């Protein structure tokens, strides 16, 4: 790509801002809306085969849609995503500011109040993202920007999920984006999967670096640094910088706990523990600037805060009565199922959920259509699962499964797969022990119903092993994967990507001492 190139028939590339493992970042100009934007252009060589490119484009569009629904002042707005020639591109709000890694270099060490202020703002972003089951997965100083008014923007939300390749979990393939592995918990490095607690670990790495001026386990050899994340306790901050408050030192150590269950429960909890330290912030010359007086942003926020206080203590205003559900015929409900399926296949899952919700409400009074209503409810829960609304989906699974089992029988494939998605919802919500127990029980039922070598049985065995690795039982995970590999190879063949994935997991466990 060169300056003056136009992508998507409207975004003119003006100036290259940066380059990374996934491609280039440009300052661009939206010719349609007459404004500057940031344009991320993804390298076509990341996806050498047509099959990989097609899968990458599908995943890219899906993740862009999910990320675009994240609304928070600390996250740049996603404007557009698409394909231009052989390249994928993402158009976002252009953020002007000072990258946090540059800030650390310029102000070493950073004042405690500023470190707390930066980390607390990141927590505010993570709190709203995690509530929507959105995980950053690549939180590090390079992806954080301090603006002139002191606000922090979290960049590249969802970019890793958009671009993940099947071999992305392989620790040996670090070449590009080496820094990522220096902020990654061992459970994510082993499995390639992340959850909210993985982001909190990365936040602990960032907060440590803000206060100490160096990474937690800094080393010239990246693989050695990653192994230390697995094997060594982090150095207490006060041993490196005595003026760090004891509470912040305890907080960072808890964020860097090896076992995800030992980390803070949420980003909101971390925020509350940081906020008391955001006091008496000194100026950062050359980085922040005095706000205009009066500051329109603060004026707006002050009113909103007073409204929120009133809403908490004031009388509740009676809600307007909900509009009655439309009466739909059986044919209407069947058509709604078809339309929802088309939307879901096109990646427009939130629209599919809306259509199915209305169909379920409208069909509740339809007599004699129990099977159709169960099918609609099953489509709805699966759509919510696909939309990452795991909490609602889990409640729906609990309500749906007894009726589905009664209708089809406990050994029916649809029932087993529904139970499987239920266990994945538990895991996605961080309820690891419950997910492990339910997966183990389901595996026994799957083996009895369809056999040891059925695809679902193999997939369950891999998921249980990955869950054990995430919970810190690396030996148990290694033993299960070692037993799984020959069975999976016999069924799928040595060249199958899933077999390759298990090989990578075993290699990662071996490299990290599993």
pLDDT, tens digit only, all 514 positions of the chain:
788 899 999 999 999 998 866 778 999 999 999 999 999 888 777 677 777 777 777 778 877 887 888 889 999 999 999 888 878 899 999 999 999 999 999 887 899 999 999 999 999 999 999 998 889 988 999 999 999 889 999 998 877 666 654 444 555 443 333 347 889 898 888 888 888 999 999 999 999 999 999 999 998 887 788 888 888 999 999 999 999 999 999 999 999 999 999 999 999 999 999 999 999 898 887 788 777 777 787 788 888 888 877 766 656 666 556 556 567 788 999 999 999 999 988 888 889 999 999 999 988 877 778 899 999 999 999 999 988 899 999 999 999 999 999 999 999 999 999 999 999 999 999 899 999 999 999 999 999 999 989 999 999 999 999 999 988 898 999 999 999 999 999 999 999 989 998 998 998 888 776 4
Number of domains making up the chain: 3
Q: Which of 57, 75, 92 is the last residue of a domain?
A: 92
Q: What is the pLDDT of residue 231?
A: 85
Do both 102 and 147 map to the same domain?
yes
Instruction: Find the CATH number of the domain harbouring 82.
Output: 3.30.200.20
Q: Which of 92, 122, 139 is the last residue of a domain?
A: 92
Q: What is the pLDDT of residue 163?
A: 60
Do both 285 and 432 map to the same domain?
no
- d(CA 140, CA 414) in angstroms, rounded, equals 41
Q: What is the pLDDT of residue 241?
A: 94
What would the DSSP string read from start to end of 40-68?
Answer: EEE-GGGS-SHHHHHHHHHHHHHHHHHHH
70: which residues sit within 8 A by CB, 6+ positions away? 78, 128, 129, 132, 134, 157, 158
Instruction: Give CA 214 to chain center in angstroms.
Output: 26
Tell me the β-bridge partners of 29. Answer: 12, 36
CB 94 within 8 A of CB 36: yes
Q: What is the pLDDT of residue 345?
A: 86
The catalytic residue positions are 138
Question: H helices then E strands: how many in the chain?
Answer: 20, 9
Is residue 253 included in any domain, yes or no? yes
Do both 376 and 485 map to the same domain?
yes
Do both 153 and 287 map to the same domain?
yes
Is residue 354 included in any domain, yes or no? no
Do both 136 and 19 map to the same domain?
no
Q: What is the pLDDT of residue 200?
A: 97
Tell me the β-bridge partners of 18. Answer: 25
Is residue 347 included in any domain, yes or no? no
Q: What is the pLDDT of residue 83?
A: 86
Do both 161 and 226 map to the same domain?
yes
Compute the residue count for the chain: 514
Do both 229 and 298 map to the same domain?
yes
Do both 18 and 131 map to the same domain?
no
Is residue 340 included in any domain, yes or no? no
Do both 236 and 292 map to the same domain?
yes
Q: What is the pLDDT of residue 108?
A: 77
- d(CA 123, CA 134) in angstroms, rounded, equals 13
Residue with tokens 């696909």: 386
Minimal CA–CA distance to 328: which of 295, 288, 366, 290? 366
User: What is the SS3 assignment for 59?
Assistant: helix
Is residue 36 included in any domain, yes or no? yes
Do both 283 and 261 map to the same domain?
yes
Instruction: Find the CATH number of the domain harbouring 104.
Output: 1.10.510.10
Is residue 232 included in any domain, yes or no? yes
Do both 298 and 425 map to the same domain?
no
CB 119 within 8 A of CB 103: no
Pairing of strands 87-92, 98-99: unpaired
Instruction: Find the CATH number of the domain harbouring 456.
Output: 1.25.40.10
- d(CA 488, CA 388) in angstroms, rounded, equals 28
Is residue 346 included in any domain, yes or no? no
Q: Which of 72, 92, 112 is the last residue of a domain?
A: 92
Structural domain that includes position 474? 368-511
Is residue 321 included in any domain, yes or no? no
Burial 122-133 (b: 16+ CB within 10 A, else e): bbbbbbbbbebb
Tokens of 53: 């490119």
Minimal CA–CA distance to 278: which of 214, 212, 210, 216? 210
Do both 26 and 107 map to the same domain?
no
Q: What is the pLDDT of residue 172?
A: 42
Tokens of 311: 């809403």
- The phi-psi region of residue 297 (left if phi > 0; otherwise alpha if psi is between -120 and 50; otherwise beta) is alpha
């Amino acid at each position: 790509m060169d300056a003056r190139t136009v992508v998507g028939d409207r975004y003119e590339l003006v100036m290259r801002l940066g380059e990374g493992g996934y491609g280039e970042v440009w300052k661009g100009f939206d010719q349609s809306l007459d404004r500057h934007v940031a344009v991320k252009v993804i390298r076509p060589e990341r996806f050498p085969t047509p099959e990989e490119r097609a899968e990458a484009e599908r995943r890219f569009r899906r993740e862009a849609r999910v990320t675009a629904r994240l609304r928070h002042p600390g996250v740049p707005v996603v404007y557009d995503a698409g394909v231009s020639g052989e390249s994928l591109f993402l158009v976002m709000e252009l953020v002007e500011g000072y990258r946090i890694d540059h800030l650390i270099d310029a102000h070493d060490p950073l004042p405690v109040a500023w470190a707390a202020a930066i980390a607390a703002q990141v927590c505010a972003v993570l709190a709203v993202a995690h509530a929507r089951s959105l995980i950053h997965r690549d939180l590090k100083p390079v992806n954080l920007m301090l603006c002139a008014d002191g606000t922090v923007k979290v960049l590249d939300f969802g970019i890793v999920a958009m671009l993940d390749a099947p071999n992305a979990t392989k620790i040996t393939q670090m070449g590009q984006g080496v820094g990522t592995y220096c902020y990654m918990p061992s459970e994510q490095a082993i499995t390639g999967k992340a959850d909210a607690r993985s982001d909190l670990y990365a936040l602990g790495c960032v907060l440590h670096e803000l206060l100490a001026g160096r990474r937690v386990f800094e080393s010239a050899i990246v693989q050695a640094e990653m192994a230390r994340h697995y094997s060594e306790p982090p150095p207490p901050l006060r041993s490196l910088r005595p003026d760090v408050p004891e509470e912040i030192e305890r907080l960072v150590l808890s964020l860097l706990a090896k076992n995800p269950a030992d980390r803070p429960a949420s980003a909101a909890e971390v925020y509350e523990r940081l906020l008391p330290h955001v006091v008496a912030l000194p100026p950062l010359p050359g980085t922040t600037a005095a706000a205009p007086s009066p500051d329109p942003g603060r004026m707006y926020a002050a009113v909103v805060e007073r409204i929120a206080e009133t809403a908490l203590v004031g009388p509740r205003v009676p809600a307007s009565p909900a509009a009655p559900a439309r009466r739909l015929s059986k044919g209407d409900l069947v058509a709604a199922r078809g339309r929802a399926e088309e939307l879901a296949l096109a990646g427009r899952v939130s629209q599919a959920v809306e259509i199915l919700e209305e169909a379920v409400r409208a069909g509740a009074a339809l007599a004699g259509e129990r099977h159709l209503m169960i099918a609609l409810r099953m489509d709805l829960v699966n759509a919510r699962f696909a939309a990452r609304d795991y909490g609602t989906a889990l409640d729906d699974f609990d309500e749906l499964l007894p009726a589905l089992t009664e209708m089809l029988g406990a050994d029916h494939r649809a029932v087993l797969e529904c139970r499987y998605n239920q266990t994945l919802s538990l895991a996605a919500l961080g309820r690891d022990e419950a997910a492990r127990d339910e997966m183990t029980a389901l595996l026994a039922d799957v083996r009895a119903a369809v056999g040891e070598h059925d695809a679902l049985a193999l997939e369950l065995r891999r998921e249980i092993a990955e869950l054990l690795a995430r919970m810190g039982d690396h030996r148990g995970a290694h033993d299960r994967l070692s037993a799984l590999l020959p069975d999976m190879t016999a069924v799928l063949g040595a060249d199958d990507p899933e077999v390759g994935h298990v090989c990578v997991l075993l290699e990662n466990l071996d490299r990290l001492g599993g």
